[in-house]
Amino acid sequence: MRRRVIDGRFELGERLGGGGMGLVWRAWDTALHRDVALKEVRPPDPAMDEHDPALARELRARVLREARALARLNHPHVVTIHHIVDEGEDAYPWLVMELVTGGSLQDRLARGPMPPSEAARLGREVLSALRAAHAVGIQHRDVKPANVLLRSDGRSVLTDFGIAAVRESSSLTATGSFIGSPEYMAPERINGHEGDPASDLWSLGMMLYVAVEGRHPLRRATTLATLAAVLNQAVPAPERAGTLGPVLLALLTRDPAARPDPATLD
């Protein structure tokens, strides 16, 4: 079967995954003879082009702007962007990225929780990636185990910054579906308050809580119940986190200003 080729160069292979902002494929770079990951950026609402073409154009521009900013980071714990395929304003861009083959943190946690020391090491790596992104004005908005990939040597890579291109105050699309993962979303973002990098730190804290405890403290049977729990219920003290426990609880405070600053957290 003939493979689809993007930009006359990248042969699409198997689909690796997908989320609110598009699909990710394994691809073969016919120019450099290497495997890469190719992200097909798509809006969360497929009808956006027809119903709100101005918003669709704005989304394309934001994706391109933030992809270029990320490409300049060259950070060891931020996924490397090799190339951007921009087919014009009538099409969404494709992001050509390094292929990380060690699976995700979600895959790792399916085998059981992490020791606190291992979680702390990973947390510092993800924090360093967030600090680099925040320094160039990019918030991630969807820090969760599925978006932390593991290289073969165990080092972590934060990926899927595409969600940061969507800045709707309610965090809802026109179809009413969530942008982001409610169980890892900071309370202030659920309430529609954007623009604070500390919101990414809540998500980091919740991810590390899940990593060491092996369970999510506020996940409920439905999305609405989970959102209500994140907004209103206290986070129970972790039982397996050891000396990491106070750090997690400091991050998981509902007042963004009360969370530790990145340098203190590190």
What CATH number does residue 74 fall under?
A: 3.30.200.20
Range in 51-55, 206-210, 232-236, 237-241 the model is least confident about? 51-55
What confidence tier does 175 reach under pLDDT thresholds 50, 70, 90?
very low
Same domain, residue pair 170 and 111: yes
pLDDT winner (highest mean) among 23-27, 204-208, 222-226, 231-235 = 204-208
Regarding whether 171 and 88 lie in a shared domain, the answer is: no
Both 226 and 261 in one domain: the answer is yes
Residues 168 and 254 in one domain: yes
Q: Which of 44, 64, 97 is the last residue of a domain?
A: 97
Residues 14, 119 within the same domain: no
Q: If residue 156 lies in a helix (H) or strand (E), which one and from where to where?
A: strand 156-158
Question: 223: which 2 tokens?
Answer: 């999305």
Comparison of pLDDT for 158 and 73, the residue scoring more:
158
Range of the domain at 244: 105-265
Both 92 and 114 in one domain: the answer is no
pLDDT reported for residue 55: 77
Which CATH number does the domain housing residue 199 bear? 1.10.510.10
pLDDT of 19 higher than 70 = no
Active site residues: 142
Bridge partners of 266, per DSSP, are none
Residue 44: predicted pLDDT: 64
Length of the chain equals: 266
Rounded CA gap, 30 and 24, in Å? 18
Secondary structure class of 96 (helix, strand, coil): strand
Min mean pLDDT across 45-59, 110-124, 231-245 is at 45-59
Domain boundary among the residues 78, 97, 116 is at 97
* Mean pLDDT value of segment 162-187: 58
Q: Considering the entire predicted model, what is its pTM?
A: 0.86
What's residue 152's pLDDT? 87
Query: Is 128 found in the same domain as 258?
Result: yes
Strand pairing category for 156-158 and 94-97: unpaired
Asked if residue 172 and residue 226 are part of one domain, the reply reads yes
For the chain, helix, strand, coil in percent to 5 are 40, 20, 40
Indicate the DSSP class of residue 162. G
